[in-house]
Amino acid sequence: MLSNKKAAPVLAKAEAANVETIAFNRAEIYESNLILEALSSHKIDLIVLAGFMWLVPENLVHEYSDRIINVHPALLPKFGGKGMYGMHVHNAVKDAREKETGITIHLVNKEYDKGRILFQAKCTLDEEDTPEDIAQKIHGLEHSNFPEQIEHYLQSI
């Protein structure tokens, strides 16, 4: 389990389950081979991003081409790109008066949110939905679809 946040609750959960963890900083991912070496030493086949907001370094994108998967809280290509994460996305969806939104599960390449789309799930929006309501709908879609789509993609590679 790798995290760029030393205090991420998932690290404690992983450690409790005897899963090795590494917390890293910007220099360790962008200026060293720490992450690549850790992945290689554990024979990792697929990288699944969850809440990772940094651009994935080119050396990882190259080494794990078509083997880094992410979920985005909107229907790409709308509302994607640098700075479009979390509540920023939900506020933009609300401001645009979208009638529907959803999630996009996609492969990661060297640009934010530009990798090949693997799956999208939609939900309808009501005019009175707040950005917080939108976030709740999106979380439901993520929880009900992301694990299944990861498994599906693993079986296809």
Average pLDDT across each block of 10 residues of the chain; the chain has 157 residues. List them in order. Answer: 92 94 94 94 94 93 97 97 95 98 98 97 98 98 97 93
**Contact (Cβ atoms closer than 8 angstroms) between residue 107 and residue 116:** yes
Domain residue ranges of the chain, discontinuous segments joined by +: 70-156
| Predicted local distance difference test score (pLDDT) of residue 74 | 98
What is the DSSP code string of 31-97? Answer: SSSHHHHHHHHTT---EE-SS--SPPPHHHHHHTTT-EEEEESS-TTTT-STT--HHHHHHHHHHTT
Cα distances (angstroms) measured from residue 53 to each of 70, 72, 149, 153: 11, 11, 21, 22
Catalytic residue list contains 42 = no
In terms of CATH architecture, what is 70-156? 3-Layer(aba) Sandwich (3.40)
Catalytic residue among 72, 88, 90, 106: 72
Residue 136: predicted pLDDT? 98
pLDDT recorded at residue 51: 85
